[in-house]
Structure 1
Amino acid sequence: MFEQVTDRVLRYVAHNLGVRIVGAPGSGRTTVAKRVVDELEGRGTRVYAVFATQSLAEVPFAGIVSMGIDLRPRAAGILGIADLLSEHVSRVGPRVILVDEIESLDRESLAVIDIVQKRTEVPLIATMGDVPFESRTPAVVLGRWPEATVALAPLRYEQVNALLLQMLGAPGEVDVPARILAKSGGNLRLAVRIIETAVLSERLVLRDGKYAIDGSLMNEHLHATIESMLHGLRPEEFKALTTLSVLGPTPVAELAVSVGADVLDSLEHRRLVSALPGPDGHLFASVFPPVIEDYLAGHVLNSRRILRDSLTGGLDGPQHEDELPLSDGSASAELAALREEHGGSHAATVRYFHKRLESVEQLYYAAWEAERTMSNAVAFLRVYWGGALDRLRIRKVFEHTDRTGSAPEDLLFFNMTRALWAVMDENDLAGGLAILEEFAEAEPEWAEEARAFSLLVRSQHTGMPADLDAEFAGLPVRQPTSGVIAVARGLLELFRMKPEAALAAMDAAEGFEVVPRFEPLIRGLALFASGRVDEALAYSLQRRRTALRNVDQFSLVTQSYVASLALLSRGLFDEAEYLMGWAFSLKRPGFLLGSLYNAMLRLSALRADAASSSLGEQATAANDVGPLPGIGKGVYELVARKPASAEAFDQRASALLADQKAHGFILEAVYSGLFVLCLLPTPRVKARLEKILREEGITRHDQLLRVADAVLEGDIAVLDRFPDEYEPDGDAYKIAMLLRGAVRKHRVSSHGGPTVAAIERAAERFMRKHRPDGQFIAFEPGVPYLSLTDREREIALLAGTRTNQEIADQFGLSIRTVESHISNALRKTNAASRKALFELVRGDQ
């Protein structure tokens, strides 16, 4: 979890720089300090480490004594001890002083360390809080130079997911890390405690190999942790926090009048209150981390009757933007703004999203309950096209809505939703299409709209029609403002890699009254599919910003998907994973968004360091191919199940591209082909991809295909010239990735000689000359199960379908022995779960 942070600290120390590691309480500062000590000592560096505690802050020389150095009788007073410690630190060999929680170090030890460091000039590593101008920050650590600062960011979704797997040995359902992240506010210590207490109170339960939440994460075992965070509050501060927990997000101006600005400032300083800006520039305050709000609100509702009665109830929260810097709209500016956002905490905004979406859903459902008209049903169902589903409510709305006198456009949307529900929840494609056809026959003026949507649904699941133009020629537009035919055509044109035709469909529409919010998705994807990646990135990030402001989960997920595709195509995995993690921290959306959500789960698991996070395993079942990148599971499984050789990889990847092409999903085939070719260049994949590009008239990847030819043919002359002849075309990252992949391929196959030397030379010169911005995937073919023993392999083949007791009975082993074999197999293969282990071994054998 802290590998990148630890590496940064070690790099600074290697340059003889001091380092300040700053972060909020519970952010993992001590964990990082311990890892740094272990790494340095493993490299032969002598570390003089002090791990200070608040309880010893008033004990003279407590920190120095904890170093374990023999002070001897002659070492008296600060100067005497400083002389002795200086002798130790000045000895031959690399030396470092490290102080954890320097704000809690006693004054005498602090003075000694200050003197010793200035005499010896060895690097000083110190961990401390991140609140500016904290009065407890020792003066000796301020203004010290040369010194670097490493800030610990709040947890992200994928880190919480990895934490669950590390602590419990199994992944969670997709909403489990999302809820833990939201409740903890991204605080590592609090997230750990929430997981531990939820298991203890049986709120986290194992079901079918994954942990699920049973009830609320708040439990009695968590109270002590929260009470320790509230320890030391003055009565007026505690009352203000309790009041705010009941009211919810409240204007700061109103709170300042009732509780005092000084009280609010003190609570914010202690990180117990978070301020969110509203659209009019006014600030709204809310309790932070959110789990404290749950604790205090429950306390008030259960025992504080007088206070509860004195409160007027919650105020409507603001429609606010995340705390994002302004941007001029260019891709570089939007990317800079995203990176700045990445460095902060979005947990308060996630909490706000949850509460607002829940209140909107409840509002529309209550309106439908009061008057079960079709218009009220449609207003309620529109929420579910973007938000999480309540299956009981949606069935009730389907069954009990009065359809008498309904407007045909409302009936259309109602039946479109029913059709999607049949396909999604009941896996009944024929039934869903029958619903749409029944509507078409009953409402002939709107029949074309229903049949266009039916065509879209059928194509997503079975493949593109043989003649799309003929299909739409039979669907004349008689309702130009509904947008259904335009949206269906736009998406289908994208599926077959015709972005200009998709944009033309959007431009021809007179409105999108039935299917609002689809137009920006199609336009963003069209920009991406046409190779205008920077434009797609700027466009989607701008609209994601609007979605944050409007609390619009539909647009947030769709625009995060488009932006993630653009970022991944440039190798910006950290930024893409942050965007996708933000979407994951909300609840899983329903209907059409579910497929994009699952696509992002698979895309976020492609990088090697995320392969063990089980994100890809959390996506629901899917076909190998899908209409858009990531919707099919084929590429994810190709990377997750490392094949035995480059030849095996070539066969499987080539077959996948052929399948995508046969379904008519050209956009997915092109981007799958580009990804796997650059990951590991192989001849069948290159030939298959080149044929698809030629058939579609796409020439913007010609330089990439040229270097792929040179790599595969061993054309040293082309490889030597290429770095100088390359003209920037948007493929610099992909070409660098391809050259690195070619080097790995030759090393794995033990093919050396002049060809691999030329590839390495070309890769080095290309990187130096063109400097592509991006991270690379560490991927090599190889069969993980080959390291398993025969018994581990036998048990792995049963782990996905049998219990430990059943396996033990079959082989005459104890349950403990079976558990040990499964644990060893999981560790050796880096599989995320028993099911993943079973699929890995079964698939490769």
Structure 2
Amino acid sequence: MLDPWPLIGRDGELSELTVSLATAACRGVVLVGGAGVGKSRLVCEAAGSLAGSGWVVRSVTATASARAIPLSAFGRWAEDMDGASPLVLVRRLVAALGEGAEPERLLVTVDDAHLLDDLSAVVLQHLVLGGAATVLVTTRQGEPAPDAVRMLWKDGLLHRRELRPLSAGHTEDLLTAMLGSSPDPACSARMLRLAAGNALFLRQIVEFASTSGHLETVDGMVRWQVDGVAPSLVELVEAQIGAVRDAVRDVVDVVAVGEPMQGSCLQRVVEQDAIEEAEARALIRTEGDVVYMGHPVFGEVRRNTCGPWRLRRLRGQVALAMRDGAPGAAQAARRGLLWLESDLPPDVHVFLSAARAAGSLLDFGLAHRLFSAADGAGGMGSGVRSRVPLAYTLFMMSRGESADEVLDSVVAADDDEPDAYLNVVTVRAANLLWTMRSPAQSWQVVDDALATAQGSRRHNLMASRAIQLTLAARPRDVLSAMADVDYGGMDSFAATIGLAAECLAHGELGRSEDAVARAVECRRVVGLNDQGRFLGLHLAEFLTFALAAAGRIAEAVDVAEENLRAQQHLPASARVVAEEILGMALLAAGDLDAAVRRLTSHADGGLHDPATSASFPVATSVYRFRPLLAQALARSGDVAGAEATLAAAKADRHPAYVYVTSVELLAEAWVAAAGQRITEARRAARRAAEFARGHDQIAREIWCLQTAVQLGDTGCAARLGELAEVTTAPRAAVAARYAAALAADDPAGLERVSGEFEMMGDVLAAADAAGHAAVSCRRSGRTGRSLTAAARANRLGATAGGAATSPAVAAAALAVPFTNREREIALLVAQGLSNRDIAEVVSLSVRTVESHVYNASSKAGVTERAALAELVRAALG
């Protein structure tokens, strides 16, 4: 690692500081901030800058150990001054400091001025009052300073500047610079949380982790295998906490094990005056009625240095103090964990309540610990209320076999809460469908239960059937299955599943208004069952798709962004999926760079953490969103990345996810198009449309046929015209006009369609339509309009980041009036493919390919194959 560390994130402060000090009217500056935020380093850099421009710099540092010695800070200039009175000593010291320097070019820096002895403080005061030097002083926030020092900024003699901790972005930049590689998300998040913008703490953490061998670089990213805290960091924190009485240290330790904790809870455990003293010393801080450590690293250090018995006792005290409150889910889960790790006897009711709360927060690891603790305490019987939640938690952790074993241990499936949705049947069916990847067995479990189920139990089971039908790409059957269901008599979990399934079914059928109506109703019930709150993610995904597929793209992006904001306080697994949903919407809008960033969140934000990647939301999202990432990469020009991503998606294809088959086929189309294999691309888009048509996925069929048209397929007009008659979705009508204009070689119609797509928000389709308009104008001899349309196509494609790989935009850039087949072959020639290779790609004979190459060369005015390739490459930039 570099030494010294680079100064990152302080450019503004450094510039302001050096300018202020060099101003004749300025007597000096006092920097105020917490320990370790970088005051000393900033002073050093500013002093160095002024010294480089001819200033004389005198630097002193005050320390607590020398505070009892008069003039200790200025000792080197106080030699041979024994016997003089204090006033004479002060005058002589001021003169000694200025010897050989002009007062207007003399800088005296004093680090930690709050630790100056009284006489040294008077020297500083005289330097300022007498104009003998410009001074630059640091002092720690919240610490008392000598009166002579304090009056310098209270009376306005020195400019007071408060130095804030580094921002998260600057801290991460500093961390990356010191590590030499980017930290992985888990490493970055933990180090940033502990350092909280404190550069000194960050340095201690990084150096300890590095020298102890706890850092390793994997796939170009640094991982931190956490093990303890740096001894030097412990010393720093202990020095900052200082010599406090036992009651104050108890406050620090209680908050360290219980934060964030309610102030009323803290008051039940420790003395009020000790709380006030700890707050005054900035050892704790309060926001409203919630108490936190003054700095995150304080808690880390105290939890690592307190003895285990003391920690167990303190956790028990906090858990008991929380009993009379009315905490939310987070506090209920926190209380259960504290109880579990305390010296209190096991309490089944506490553990069960906390486990359910943890599950509602998607913290399934904690939920599993607490359910298991309740089981071990003898409170878990064999009925629905006991072991089914444990099995469900294991299922949500993707531990299918363990979940199955727990379900096998349940004596009866309907002896407790027969109307509850989470029962042996539904959990087993879900486990078989997703985790065990056995759709047929899952369907059989529900079939067997439906054979005898009646009333609310039957309605709840129909929700399971609806989601099975959804994944199987049977949207009409979803609506039929739920037509006679009484949502009012259903468990709220089941109602959420049923309504979400109906939302997607309507979206698939091109009924976006009905999809929105079902989503509104679903949102009303999604929060009524704590265990089902994660279903809001799937609802957001289904509604985002329904809107985007219909051509209501701005609304789709709004829904996805709102969903991401709603997940910010939930675990990483929820945020990963929310990022992917937003990536899906941004891909529909044609914002390729942003789409790629969001769709790679499963790699950058979750899958490096085994606990996160194994959670149900993330584990089941990977296959659904990987083909979308492949599309985005292909359309951005990253052909190799797109091919690798698509291959990974196919290798991980989930047998239950039939409904996204067309998404994978469209990814094949765009990957082929990015490689200029246009015939192959059109065939893949047509296969996607045929699959969607065979499964009543009207909205997907329209989207797939539109893609085929974007790739130059002129045979889609009739079917798109039919589809436009059965749906009011904006995309259907525009796509039908696009296909008709392309088939008729109508440049004016193509130009109008390009504008319509842009208004819809589908920027890439707008670029492709403009590209087709340019080619059509060129064929009809309208050179000026062709250039205008080509420029529009290039502008739109470049805005979206996809101009380089779009066949239509590429065709617009070629001024030669090639036929579609000649253009495709010319592009493949430009890639360096032989005639035999090209023949295999486009499914033609070698002789036919040779003929097309000859014709294309003639139109381009060249006689050699190499010249044709060079001309095409030059046209495409």
The structure, 1 or 2, with the larger RCO (C-alpha pairs under 8 Å, 6+ apart) is 1
1:624-673 alpha-carbon deviations (Å, 9 max, x no partner): 9989999989999999xxx9996559899878866765664888999999
Q: The residue matched to 2:292 in structure 1 has which SS?
A: strand
Q: 2:473 aligns to what?
A: 464
Separation (CA, whole Å) in 2 of partners of 1:166 and 1:638: 43
Q: 1:285 aligns to what?
A: 291
Separation (CA, whole Å) in 2 of partners of 1:579 and 1:208: 15
Separation (CA, whole Å) in 2 of partners of 1:651 and 1:100: 72
User: Where do 1:530-609 residues align within 5 Å?
Assistant: 530=547, 587-588=612-613, 590-592=615-617, 594-596=619-621
Whichever of the two has the greater Rg, that structure is 2
Letter in 2 for 1:487: A
1:335-366 alpha-carbon deviations (Å, 9 max, x no partner): xxxxxxxxxxxxxxxx9999987665544444
TM-score by structure 1 length? 0.53
Q: 2:308 aligns to what?
A: 302
Q: The residue matched to 2:290 in structure 1 has which SS?
A: strand
Kept in 2, the 8 Å contact 1:20–1:147? The answer is yes
Q: Does residue 501 of the first structure (1) align with residue 528 of the second (2)?
A: no
Separation (CA, whole Å) in 2 of partners of 1:602 and 1:134: 61
Q: Does residue 709 of the first structure (1) align with residue 769 of the second (2)?
A: yes
Q: The residue matched to 1:285 in structure 2 has which SS?
A: strand
**In 2 relative to 1, CA 209–358 (structure 1 residues): closer, same or farther, beyond 3 Å?**
same
TM-score by structure 2 length? 0.52
Q: 2:431 aligns to what?
A: 421
Kept in 2, the 8 Å contact 1:544–1:556? The answer is yes
Kept in 1, the 8 Å contact 2:260–2:291? The answer is yes
Letter in 2 for 1:473: S
Q: The residue matched to 1:375 in structure 2 has which SS?
A: coil
Kept in 2, the 8 Å contact 1:653–1:685? The answer is no
**In 2 relative to 1, CA 397–234 (structure 1 residues): closer, same or farther, beyond 3 Å?**
farther
Q: 1:227 aligns to what?
A: 235
**Equivalent in 676, 679, 684 of residue 711 of structure 2:** 684
Q: Does residue 377 of the first structure (1) align with residue 387 of the second (2)?
A: yes
1:414-452 alpha-carbon deviations (Å, 9 max, x no partner): 444334434554444444444444444464766676566
Q: 2:261 aligns to what?
A: 250
Q: 2:81 aligns to what?
A: none
Separation (CA, whole Å) in 1 of partners of 2:100 and 2:269: 55
Separation (CA, whole Å) in 2 of partners of 1:17 and 1:562: 49
**In 2 relative to 1, CA 447–250 (structure 1 residues): closer, same or farther, beyond 3 Å?**
closer
1:580-625 alpha-carbon deviations (Å, 9 max, x no partner): 799859945722454448989999998999x9xx9x9999964499
Letter in 1 for 2:168: P
Q: The residue matched to 1:286 in structure 2 has which SS?
A: strand
Kept in 2, the 8 Å contact 1:686–1:708? The answer is no
Separation (CA, whole Å) in 1 of partners of 2:158 and 2:102: 19
Separation (CA, whole Å) in 2 of partners of 1:197 and 1:149: 26
**In 2 relative to 1, CA 488–192 (structure 1 residues): closer, same or farther, beyond 3 Å?**
farther
**Equivalent in 799, 807, 810 of residue 738 of structure 1:** 799
Separation (CA, whole Å) in 2 of partners of 1:197 and 1:424: 43
User: Where do 1:801-816 residues align within 5 Å?
Assistant: none
Separation (CA, whole Å) in 1 of partners of 2:625 and 2:703: 15
Question: Offset of 1:242 from its aligned partner?
Answer: 1.6
Q: The residue matched to 2:306 in structure 1 has which SS?
A: helix
Q: 1:333 aligns to what?
A: none
Letter in 1 for 2:166: L
Kept in 2, the 8 Å contact 1:37–1:47? The answer is no
Q: The residue matched to 2:308 in structure 1 has which SS?
A: helix
Separation (CA, whole Å) in 2 of partners of 1:37 and 1:638: 62
Separation (CA, whole Å) in 1 of partners of 2:679 and 2:41: 45
Letter in 2 for 1:243: V
Kept in 2, the 8 Å contact 1:23–1:130? The answer is yes
Separation (CA, whole Å) in 2 of partners of 1:253 and 1:201: 41
**In 2 relative to 1, CA 103–710 (structure 1 residues): closer, same or farther, beyond 3 Å?**
farther
1:210-267 alpha-carbon deviations (Å, 9 max, x no partner): 98887xx342x53432331232323234332123224443332554687567765675
Separation (CA, whole Å) in 2 of partners of 1:631 and 1:56: 70
Q: Does residue 489 of the first structure (1) align with residue 496 of the second (2)?
A: no
Separation (CA, whole Å) in 1 of partners of 2:179 and 2:105: 40
Separation (CA, whole Å) in 1 of partners of 2:56 and 2:665: 49
Separation (CA, whole Å) in 2 of partners of 1:635 and 1:21: 59
**In 2 relative to 1, CA 648–545 (structure 1 residues): closer, same or farther, beyond 3 Å?**
closer
**Equivalent in 389, 402, 414 of residue 405 of structure 1:** 414
**In 2 relative to 1, CA 111–289 (structure 1 residues): closer, same or farther, beyond 3 Å?**
same
1:801-842 alpha-carbon deviations (Å, 9 max, x no partner): xxxxxxxxxxxxxxxxxxxxxxxxxxxxxxxxxxxxxxxxxx
Where in structure 2 are there 5+ consecutive unaligned residues? 22-28, 65-71, 77-94, 331-357, 735-755, 778-782, 817-826, 833-877
Q: 1:526 aligns to what?
A: 543
Kept in 1, the 8 Å contact 2:216–2:224? The answer is yes
**In 2 relative to 1, CA 627–650 (structure 1 residues): closer, same or farther, beyond 3 Å?**
farther
Letter in 1 for 2:261: T
User: Where do 1:641-790 residues align within 5 Å?
Assistant: 647-648=675-676, 664=692, 684=711, 697-698=730-731, 699=734, 701-703=757-759, 704=763, 705-710=765-770, 714=774, 735=796, 738=799, 742=803
Letter in 2 for 1:477: D
Letter in 2 for 1:302: P
**In 2 relative to 1, CA 558–749 (structure 1 residues): closer, same or farther, beyond 3 Å?**
closer
Separation (CA, whole Å) in 1 of partners of 2:302 and 2:280: 19
**In 2 relative to 1, CA 306–315 (structure 1 residues): closer, same or farther, beyond 3 Å?**
closer
Letter in 2 for 1:273: I
Where in structure 1 are there 5+ consecutive unaligned residues? 63-74, 90-96, 278-282, 323-350, 727-731, 756-780, 787-845
Q: 1:473 aligns to what?
A: 480
Separation (CA, whole Å) in 2 of partners of 1:659 and 1:141: 80
**In 2 relative to 1, CA 154–489 (structure 1 residues): closer, same or farther, beyond 3 Å?**
same
Q: 2:251 aligns to what?
A: 240
**In 2 relative to 1, CA 486–134 (structure 1 residues): closer, same or farther, beyond 3 Å?**
farther
**In 2 relative to 1, CA 102–546 (structure 1 residues): closer, same or farther, beyond 3 Å?**
farther
Separation (CA, whole Å) in 2 of partners of 1:738 and 1:55: 57
Aligned residues: 657
User: Where do 1:334-345 residues align within 5 Å?
Assistant: none
Letter in 1 for 2:616: F
**In 2 relative to 1, CA 23–539 (structure 1 residues): closer, same or farther, beyond 3 Å?**
farther
Separation (CA, whole Å) in 2 of partners of 1:7 and 1:653: 51
1:101-158 alpha-carbon deviations (Å, 9 max, x no partner): 9999999999999999x99xxxx9x99999799979995999999999997323699x
Separation (CA, whole Å) in 2 of partners of 1:672 and 1:169: 41
**In 2 relative to 1, CA 234–504 (structure 1 residues): closer, same or farther, beyond 3 Å?**
same
Question: Offset of 1:34 from its aligned partner?
Answer: 11
Q: The residue matched to 2:386 in structure 1 has which SS?
A: helix
- Identity of counterpart residues, as a percentage? 13
Kept in 2, the 8 Å contact 1:242–1:296? The answer is yes
Question: Offset of 1:167 from its aligned partner?
Answer: 3.7
